[in-house]
Structure 1
Amino acid sequence: MSASLALVTALAGGAIAQTQAVAHATTVDVPCSVSDLVEAINTANGSLGADTLRLARKCTYKLTSPDAANPANGLPAITSEITIDGNGATITRGKSAAAFRILLVAGTGTLTLNKTTISGGRATDCPALPVPPGQVCGGGINNQGTLTVNHSRVIDNTATSSVFAEGGGIDNDGMATLNDTDVSGNTAEYTGTDLSAASGGAIANDGPLTVRYSRVHHNTVTVTPDTGSFALGAMGVFAPVTIEHSIISDNRSSAPGGVARGALDISSTVTMTDSVIRDNTASAPRGTVNGGAVGNGGTLLMTRSLVVGNHATAPNGGTVTGGAISVGPVGELTLRNSKVLGNTASARGGTAQGGGISNLLGGTVKVERSSWISDNTAKAPGGGTAQGGGIYHAVGSTTLNDSTVTDNKAGDGGGIFKASGTVALNNTVVKRNKPNNCAPPNSVPGCIG
């Protein structure tokens, strides 16, 4: 080795060693003070390496004014790799404070949130994002980078707008993972007077999202009545989502004179395993409901999961498709060893199609591996039309393999009502449905009316 090369090598080694010495992980104890928390985040953002901020045990950090550099947020944007160990602490917006969300994870940021409650955020627009003016993103957390939430709560946050609202609790445009986390009591609300929408009372998802051992419950989506607007579910899914061992329950979508969809509004791909969707309600008096639990315009694979006790209601001449699941024109639904039980489609004076599942506009439904569709009801009192207590089918294809359709009720086609398209039964039992098993007579090969 030449002397000059040796010198270069030595200098390079020294530079690397110096960099490694600077870029080390640090842990900081943050007193129960908002100013100390703000200072700790700013310092972490400016340092090399990962930083852990350990909050004061069970402290409430009450934000009374927005961040000076990012006035749409209560805290400085996360721009580096930061872990917040909450120790049961709460970060909340003061009730009398101006409207702002709690946290923004920037595109360069990586945030891990442990044992922390995020509450009271109120978003009115998105900061520095390529979205239309007035769009709302994330009442509690807006993630543009990488977000992991562990053993935490995102509760009682709101996204509100007169233009378009989404993500009452979390708006995810980056990559996010929720582990053993509650997302509850959040709201997305559209307050304008023109046709528009609100999506994701709990979570609006535009990037890869994984939800494990978590609970999404008691969230709300509302729109201005009689504007024809869309209330699009507790989870608005516009990018792939994986859900495992989780519960989605007691969420509500409301769109009087408009369109309401269930707790999961899917425009991408959802893979759900060992999970439950229960007791959700989608309501649209004088309007249309697509799925009390799920409005599926994408691809949904459910394995060993349960859809139970959901309600879709459209009184005063409205239309309901799918008390549990409504499959759109390009939607694909696969149920494997799963159950659709005790769901209701109700449309007083209107039309109710599919107490359990509605495949109305050309989608593809596969029910297989000992799945059950039972005890669902389609009803339309007051002179309306109710068809397909278990399944309503038209245009597309529905195939049931090794499954059971029992004890469902409707005005006609208690088990299955086939208006058109293809319904195939393979080693599948259709029985004890009222007033009949399949309608019209002989429309479903292998089904005895």
Structure 2
Amino acid sequence: MTTTRFAPSPTGHIHVGNLRTALLNFLIARKAGGQFILRIDDTDPERSREEYVDAIKEDLEWLGLHWDRVERQSERLDRYAEAADTLRGMGRFYEAFETPTELDLKRKKQLNMGRPPVYDRAALSMTGDEREALRAERGPGVWRFKLDQERIEWDDGILGPVSIDAASVSDPVLIRGDGQVLYTLASVVDDMEMGVTDVVRGSDHVTNTATQIQIIEALGGTPPRFAHHSLLTGPQGESLSKRLGTLSLRDLRERGVHPMALLSLLARLGSSDPVELRTDMETLVDGFDITRFGAAPTKFDENDLFPMTARILQETPFEEVRQTIAAIGVPDGLAARFWAVTRDNITTLNDLEAWWIMFRDGAEPAIAPEDADFVAHAMRLLPEGPYDDATWSEWTAAVRDATGRKGRPLFMPLRKALTGQERGPEMSQVLPLMQRIRAAD
């Protein structure tokens, strides 16, 4: 069975970069009729927060990315300890005691000599007494996995054939001095024991993938199929790293972005297929093909989400927004008409409240000086409300007969006097919603 996973750390809110990884893994699983696991990477007790676990679930549910089961790495520490013991017994795990300053000096020395800045494995030549002395002086060391210094190769689902010389990579630290298990080891153990068959993640993880393949094989497992998607940039190619806080899913949702607009964009962005707006998950899944994605940096412009949201809202039936409309105070008797009039004139549902305030309280009239007398005359001809679908045509006909104005010189000043706007919905639809007209006050 095809099994994928999304493994966020509960140290903050999900942003668009996280979502892209989650979505691609979700789509692979759903297209194959497989399983999608939500795996919470909470092995860091200092930074992990339960509030962020709840927020991650809430964001995924808002998007419709429903998981088949939840796993928590903090509940699997015994499994990681067993794997570490196995690696120690094989001679593939060793303790090292260098400080960050010492490691930095080593890297600088290697660079000055024209060598790759990789860990020199000095800890392997230490005697037992030397290790005991350093442990007494500095406390427990870190535990590194001893790589076989050979080429690590795999056929990447996006990048194609990948080959990395393990001699150019430092032996990875899998357990910190304070005992915290790092993601590289935890992820390997989880992927093996949970039967993960496919892993999609960012291209910045390619080197991690190489080391994880060796760890999996050392533990007797079969590596999953890996695919590394391109990294997102801003619309001008700039890094998104400094803006990810404003591109959290929570922020985009509060700004009114529709979930299917976000999913439609990210499901195609960076692929050779054009972005196409989808309104349901089934068609999104059917049109997905991971092999269509490329390795080049991919430009993401949040402004693309808003016209897509507007298009979705134009097709949204009243029943789906009934509660939203009720929440801003529109009476039941006007709600359906209100939606029919406004849905083609909004970008997000956040825009609805301003429309209702205008209908309820009246708009500030926009009257040109040369039209002041004309509008005043027209307002005297406007009957008392409530108004119906015929009021606008009957009123403007009466104004035309009384003033002789026709066409745009007739209609535009009246629209601006009633709504304060030059453009908008048909006035025959607007007038029945007007609870107050300031120009007539």
Report which structure shows greater RCO (CA 8 Å, sep ≥6).
2
Q: Same fold (TM over 0.5)?
A: no
Structure in which a larger fraction of residues adopt strand? 1
| Structure number with larger C-alpha Rg | 2
Structure in which a larger fraction of residues adopt helix? 2
Short-chain TM bin:
under 0.3
